[in-house]
Every structure is written in structure tokens, then in C-alpha cells.
Amino acid sequence: MPENRKAAAKVEPLRKTRPCPECGKPSNREHYPFCSNRCREVDLSRWLTGSYAIPVADDETKADYPDEEN
């Protein structure tokens, strides 16, 4: 029976560890894809302050408001 317990205890993680996008340390399962709560909050802060932005082409904005071109 002890052999079965050892085999069951050797569970592979769902995701492979990847480098943290903020500091490069291995990611932590609890804070994935970051290594710590600090790195996760730094990233969130950058999104909230506008440091990160998703680029939008001019053609896409004109397609949203076709009546305003005239």
C-alpha cells in the first residue's frame, strides 16, 4: 500500500512553470502566470494607470461610427 501512496503523491502540475512576466522568476501556481502577489499587483497597476494599452487602428474606430463621417 505505501507504494500506491507514493505514486499518487507524484502528481504533475496542470501547467508548466513559466517565467514571471514582471521579474523572470518561475511562476507560482497560486499567482499564475506571476511568481508572487506583488508581481501580479504591479501588472494590474500598469493596466489601471494606462501604461498598457491595446492598439486600435483608425479604420476600426470609423467602422463603429459610420454616420459621423459626413
20 labelled binding-site residue: yes
The upper half-sphere exposure of residue 5, i.e. CA atoms within 13 Å in the direction of its Cβ, equals: 2
Burial of 28 (0-12, 13-18, 19+ CB in 10 A): middle
Please enumerate, by residue number, every residue annotated as part of a binding site for Zn(2+): 20, 23, 35, 39
Q: Which residues are annotated as a binding site?
A: 20, 23, 35, 39
